[in-house]
Amino acid sequence: MSPLRTLALGALVLPVAAHANDPYSYAQPDEVRVTHLDLKLKVDFPQHKLDGQATLTLDWKDPKAPSLVLDTRDLTISGVAAVDADGKTSPLKYALAPRDRQLGSKLTIQAPQHPRAVRIVYVTSPGASGLQWLPPAQTADKKQPFMFSQSESIHARSWVPLQDSPAIRFTYNAEVTAPKDARVAMSAPNDPAHSLNGDFRFEQTHPIPSYLLAIAAGDLAVKETGPRSAVYAEPSVVGKAAHEFEDTEKMIQTTEQLYGPYRWGRYDLLVLPPSFPYGGMENPNMTFATPTVLVGDKSLVSLVAHELAHSWSGNLVTAASWRDIWLNEGVTTYVQGRITEAVYGKRQADEETLLSIHSLQKDIGELPDNSQRLAPVPGKVDADDTLTDLPYSKGSWFLRTLEQRFGREAFDNYLKGYFDHFAFQSITTEQMLDYLKPNLIDKYPGKMSWDEVKQWVYDTGIPKNAPIPDSPSFDSIDKERSAFLAGTLGADKLDAKGWNTQEWMYFLDGLPDVPALAKMQQLDSAWQLTGTPNAEIGMRWYVHAIAAGDKATWKAAAEHMTRIGRLYLTLPVYRALSKTQDGLTFAKQVYAKAKSGYHPLTQQAVEALFAKAGKR
């Protein structure tokens, strides 16, 4: 997934009652594990539901285990049966526990005879937390309805009954029935030439964790971008997206040269409608991406580099629990930087690294101590310890430190070996460290002490000797910003005509939290920032303009908030408005109009922000 910045990840707070295997899952994999999923789904756009049949192949670990326990959320179960080797079924007794606010409902299936497979027939809820149903008006082309999933972190259970834990991997086959004018895509190899006949089949032969189970259906056109890549998007978007992502094959080849073969076959991209709450989601074979990166100059395609990098870090080698999420996101963010440097140059890679570093330096002090650790102390993750961008930024900073200490060649060889050694496995932080010590730290003595490694992983804050790259362009921007704020350089005299997106982001990030109104008005007059189509620049501009008291920007800010459902680009503007009573009132009016086009996770975050602002 692309960096979350200040976003909490769904239900990542420790529940009171859960099984010791995974605090966010009822599953008991020490007794029985799901190894394969046969899934049949019917997409019902009018009713906003999936009619489903999930057949789970089981590996019984404990000969005395009396039952199979699965995770569900808001599913209506109509029947459960054992399936023998000949396909014959026999009904099984089951119990669906009362709904837990975070975990959903535990489904306990009595199966003392240990059947080879169990089949569950069910229907999803129209309000399923892992699905979003969009009417035509909320799509780009406004012609057909659209549906897509977002299973990370623990939302797969809202559309498939399963063991919803990253520690449990399974292969899957799927048969999906949809209206004949809709194309269906899933987190498995997709056929760009598939006819729109309403019948889609998928086969994922590599074992994946449940959060990587994904589906989308709607008015999708396809345009190939390489021998093993294509872009899927609504017809009016697909050409622009294909142009923006035309370097995909080059990125794949670059990563293969660094870290070994791409093992998933095809790598396709699905550009979703604007309500998608994240930048991207690394669903195997089919990355789901936000349209906000389509700015025309490839300045934001590092998002593709990030999601592609997950094909090695996260999808191939997976964090065994959400406590270990830095193994997915920190390693991926490091690899993303290497891809960006190789394809687009060191300047852009260093600028993106510095933006990440400065954001972390600014925000880390506001996090609870346990949330400042790459590997939080088990049992102390609670509602105040929400997941921010720290696993991304601090994790990748740790890996850059290793690269600097051991040299790029040695570190690349280590990382390639790491991906090979743990391929298609889910691992803990401690397993990663057990591999790191003999294969890098001890192999090259004197480069880095084990105490330093543990400081990075288990201590709060950032080590004082953490390396920071140089950026002459950012140094120049620092001088110009200081002169502009001091009044010795006019806004129209800024040397900004050649600034790329990252450089504008850096300039705006460095403005005072509450800048002078006159300064913001001068900037806007010189550079027409209000109404910018670049969402990264727009979010930063509106936050500062609102803080300065420039109500003339509110209308354009409202358009930005309504047009974009990506939380990272929308929530900060709501937050800025909510700091004053007039702004809060206006923000609530905007939200009332925009709410129906937001993903449930976006709705939840904005409403929580309003509740907190109301208490103030």
Cα distances from 411 to residues 30, 343, 400, 524, in angstroms, run: 35, 20, 9, 45
Distance of alpha carbon 181 from alpha carbon 359, whole angstroms: 44
Radius of gyration of the chain measured on its C-alpha atoms? 24
Torsion sign, CA atoms 61, 121, 100, 605: positive
Angle, helix 501-509 to helix 346-363, in steps of 10 degrees: 20
Tokens of 605: 């975050």
Q: 72, 157 in Cβ contact below 8 A?
A: yes
323-335 CB burial, b ≥16 within 10 A, e <16: bbbbbbbbbbbbb
How far is Cα of residue 248 from the mean position of the Cα atoms in its chain?
19
Closest CA to 209 of 369, 322, 109: 322
The answer to whether residues 223 and 239 touch, using CB atoms and an 8 Å cutoff, is yes
Sign, CA torsion 600/601/602/604: positive
The catalytic residue positions are 307, 392
Tokens linked to 339: 């891809």
**DSSP classification of residue 438:** I
Sort residue 87 into left (φ over 0), alpha (ψ -120 to 50) or beta: left
3-state secondary structure string across 315-346: CCEEECCHHHCHHHHHHHHHHHHHHHHHHHCH
Distances in whole angstroms, Cα of residue 30 to Cα of each of 63, 82, 378, 509:
11, 20, 19, 48
Contact 232, 185 (CB under 8 A): yes
With contact defined as beta carbons under 8 Å apart, do 87 and 94 qualify? no
Give strand pairing partners of 149: 131
State CA 467 to chain mean position distance.
26
Produce one character per residue of 515-531: b if its CB has 16 or more CB atoms within 10 Å, e if not: beeebbbbbbeebebbe
Separation CA 126–CA 176 (nearest Å): 18
DSSP 3-state percent helix, strand, coil across the chain (nearest 5) = 40, 20, 40
